[in-house]
Structure 1
Amino acid sequence: MAVPSTLRAYGCEQRSEPAQLTQKEAKAASVPSTFRAYQYEKFGSPDCELRLRESVPTSRLEATQLRIKVHSAALNPADQKIMQDFGLAITGRQPSAEAPFGMGFDVAGTVVETGDNVTQFKEGDAVYAMAPFSSFGTFAEYVAIEEQFVALKPENVTFEEAASVPYTALTSYQALFEHASLKEGERVLILGGSTATGSVAVQLARAMGAFVIATAIGCQDYLLVESLGANQVIDVSRQKWANVVDAHSVDVMYDCGVERKAWNYDAQAALKKDSGRYVTINPMMQPRAAKFGAKCIGEIMVHPSAEQLRELSSFIESGALKPVVDSVYSFERLLPALEKLKTKKARGKVVLRAAY
């Protein structure tokens, strides 16, 4: 999980701790002076270090922030990777008793307060967002987030469905279009079509007019990926995709975290010579030089973007992109939800519901 040089540009700079509201100020803002949130004071296993705090002080909003009453928040593998493996590399700091870390990036809920300089939202708006790497912590009853990362929730989806979208949809949108520059009429091979990122990638690529080939494991995954609109689905529990895809026939290959060594082995033989592009969300260890001229873009890291969320909303509202939710857990059952995610058997997103 490498940290790109552009990380700071995407809102990952360190910030000083915000001032806390007094009870009088909180009451005036129609929010409680404290709220419940999951936090940890040390890196480590969620079983050992993650706590549900009952009385987290409500912070004063910055001028460009919104306060969102969280309805739902979705889980991502990055939540545990930051807590257990890469937290210091990603954030540049350590959690502590004085400044604990929250958990969670995806959020959908209702605006209950706006900063003085907020211009696009008002109290009562239903919104969704991906929190930046500098201030994640959406597994909470309330979250403060910069206006630049927030978009109105599409009206034709539930809060649970909306919460499932930002991190994975932005990841796949950026991988396919920002990094790989997928174009209408091109052929894309998506490794892991039934994963959370893969299910979005299949739909986005189809909506943009690409010919979509995607891999799946087993009958249920196959049927899911087929239902999402893939032109061709390969069940890799029965045959290797490398034996099915024609040599040098793929314009873009997108690994959704299922084949760490794809570039070094079969990918280059499937990608078009000189013009093929390979992108992955996996860390790449010692990638080999290109044999036939295809470009190895390598691992990408998602960045939050309200502008791109608005574009994704248009896909959702048109029916071209349908959120895929595997399961919904109550707020108190975050640990079982994290365990479900770790099994890698979820078809779509695992969602935490904070409000009823």
Structure 2
Amino acid sequence: MAQLTSPHALYISEILFTISYYLEDDRKTLARLARCCHAFSEPALSVLWSSVRSFSPFIPLLPPTVKFLWDHGRFDEATLVEFQCPPEEEWSVFDSYARRVRRLYSGSHCHQIVARIRSKTTLFPLLRSLTVQLIEPIDIQGRLFSDSLRSLKISGPAYVHCKDDRVQMAIARLARDAPLVEYLHIEDYTYSVVQSSLPPLHFAHLRAVEISAFFDYTLLQSLCHILSQAPVTQLKLELPSLPNKEWNISSPVFPALRSLRICGNPASAEQFVFHLASESLQELSIYHTRGPASAADYRHLLSHVADKYGNTLQQLSLTLSQSPSPNYPYDLSQSVLDAFYALAPRFNRLETLHLSLPHNRYVHLAPELTFESPTWPSLKLLDFQAT
């Protein structure tokens, strides 16, 4: 009987990788492929481990002495100070899987501790995207971030008063260890946080930043300072619901900014726009869906935007829910529209205008706010939504 031979296609690695990537969402099938034959093993394992949703799968792969500490809850400071990192050969199994990871979602205390134990080596050398919650302050000597990293989403402890500057220090380590990072998203769920004395950091490739400050302005203020000189062109801010006109940024920030989206109240938004160093903002979006506001707040914000960016702004979007002024939401809507009408001639390059406002029959979209209006010579798209 003739011996069966494998099809020639199975000797072409590109085809095997294509098949494996096609099954990226079917992890059970990928696991079976990795076990079925030697040819499929490498492609299937590479795809299977390319995106990992927690650090937990790596715990069984740790060197025996490190896993012993984890299993017995011995990751305390006194033990770690005396603990010696196992030799490199004991990390071989861990490394064989870690080098395949491109995206990692890690909220594990263990991840930070292992990075500290193995401080001279990057745990995931080819990582491109990392989501991490800092359960404890970052270790100065550890290398939590790979130099291949392009995207980072990071948060500190949630719903507590944080007594250290762990998030700011992590951003400093990011600047040191991941010089090619392009996207940064910082979420802050703390009620208060310690200010940092860090100077502005150098990020040569950072282009897009999101900062979500849900309760307190302190971390936001600190982050604006340390990221102030980064070449960020796209910025999204989520501000606390209550305005704070006292929050202060010590120097102009984000000189390269082209697109800004602020989710928050108009008074705080005006404070931020005032400190922008950019001279050519092209897109501005304001989403105000919670917290108080007044007609005067909107008039001041719009007037300041017109003064500073009337000659550069090409797209303007304003979304206002009924919550900021629950007793008189329609009066506030009409005041916002009136402010736009008065400022229209000063936005001489505006091409797109989106308005989403609480609306009833007493709120009027003036007839002069149209494409044909001589006061809006560049307007190409007008989108008005009544909510």
TM range (shorter): under 0.3
- TM-score normalized with structure 1 length: 0.27
More strand by share: 1
Kindly name which structure, 1 or 2, has the bigger radius of gyration based on alpha carbons. Answer: 2
Q: Where is the helix percentage greater, Structure 1 or Structure 2?
A: 2
